């Protein structure tokens, strides 16, 4: 019986260590915030000229419509943070970013789709990451008329043409210092701040899920004993 008692103590200690490590993992794991915007210069009646959806770690938590200029909460995280000052700041900034991107629409064309009178559609994906309470990355990726075109690394300030016929747009935007600094500010400053403010709410929501997973693991026998072991 002494062996069984020692084994039980060992298993309890092991579970406590696993639980402690799990909490550390939640706090130190890399997290990301992404905003996907679609901007058009001319939209059909009833369609917004700018629409956006935001997600944390791939989980949608907001939807933006330029017609109503409101951000609609999605999922549990959206409901949890919709009354915060950060939510209000994000709403205002989304409208501002949409207007800035709409202003550059008339001047951009992919070489292979350069048609007179064509009204381009611009998709912009803003991403920022944090790990262990510090920013580790921020970038923008742009698609024009559904074709991947450009990527801007806000950490290095470098533009990269990633689609066919996008080199002309890259050169144009690369020399637009005002646009470059604006995109860098939004991604490294605002986006990083939003993620930092939302993370405590998100991590708090992850804890019950983590507890459930640990409970399931605990329900599985780690060691099997026979009467000969006791």
Closest by Cα among 203, 12, 104, 111 to 124? 104
- Exposure string of 28-60, with b = 16+ CB inside 10 Å and e = fewer, is eeebbbbbbbbbbeebeeeebbbbbbbbbbeeb
Sign, Cα dihedral of 75, 76, 80, 86: negative
Least confident residue range of 46-60, 83-97, 197-211: 197-211
pTM: 0.76
Closest by Cα among 17, 158, 38 to 102? 38
pLDDT at position 27 over 50: no
CA distance 93 to 125: 15
Helical H segments across the chain, by residue range: 2-28, 75-81, 85-104, 167-174, 177-184, 192-219
CA distance 207 to 44: 44
Q: 111: number of CA atoms within 13 Å, CB side?
A: 11
Tell which wins on pLDDT, 126 or 113: 126
CA distance 202 to 195: 10
In the chain, the domains with their CATH numbers are 33-108+118-229 (3.30.500.10)
- Strands of the 50-56 sheet, one edge to the other: 70-73, 59-65, 50-56, 31-40, 121-131, 134-144, 147-153, 158-161
**pLDDT interval class at 223 (50, 70, 90):** very low
| Residue 178 bridge partners (DSSP) | none
**pLDDT interval class at 212 (50, 70, 90):** low
pLDDT at position 115 over 60: no
The Cα-based distances of 202 to 17, 33, 49, 73, 118 in angstroms read 23, 11, 30, 14, 42
CA distance 190 to 96: 12
- Give the mean model confidence (pLDDT) for residues 54-77: 92
- DSSP one-letter code for 93: H
Tell which wins on pLDDT, 156 or 131: 156
pLDDT at position 195 over 60: yes
Tell which wins on pLDDT, 163 or 111: 163
For residue range 141-164, list pLDDT tens digits in order.
999 988 899 999 999 999 999 988
Average pLDDT, the chain: 80
Closest by Cα among 124, 97, 125 to 33? 125
């Amino acid at each position: 019986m002494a062996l069984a008692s020692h084994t039980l103590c060992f298993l309890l200690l092991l579970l406590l260590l696993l639980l402690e490590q799990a909490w550390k993992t939640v706090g130190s794991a890399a997290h990301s915030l992404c905003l996907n915007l679609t901007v058009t210069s001319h939209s059909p009646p009833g369609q917004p000229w700018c629409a956006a959806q935001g997600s944390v770690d791939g989980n949608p938590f907001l939807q933006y419509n330029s017609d109503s200029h409101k951000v609609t909460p999605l999922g549990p995280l959206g409901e949890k943070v919709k009354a915060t000052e950060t939510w209000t700041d994000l709403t205002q900034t989304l409208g501002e970013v949409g207007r800035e991107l709409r202003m550059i629409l008339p001047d951009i064309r992919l070489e292979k789709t350069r048609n007179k009178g064509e009204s381009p559609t611009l998709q912009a994906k803003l991403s920022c990451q944090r790990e262990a309470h510090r920013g580790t990355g921020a970038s923008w990726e742009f698609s024009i008329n559904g074709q991947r075109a450009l990527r801007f690394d806000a950490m290095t300030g470098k533009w990269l043409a990633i689609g066919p016929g996008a080199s002309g747009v890259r050169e144009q935007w690369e020399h637009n210092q005002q646009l470059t600094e604006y995109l860098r500010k939004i991604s490294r400053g605002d986006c990083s701040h939003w993620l930092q403010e939302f993370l405590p709410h998100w991590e708090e929501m992850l804890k019950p899920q983590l507890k459930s997973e640990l409970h399931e693991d605990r329900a599985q026998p780690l060691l099997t004993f026979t009467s000969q072991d006791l």
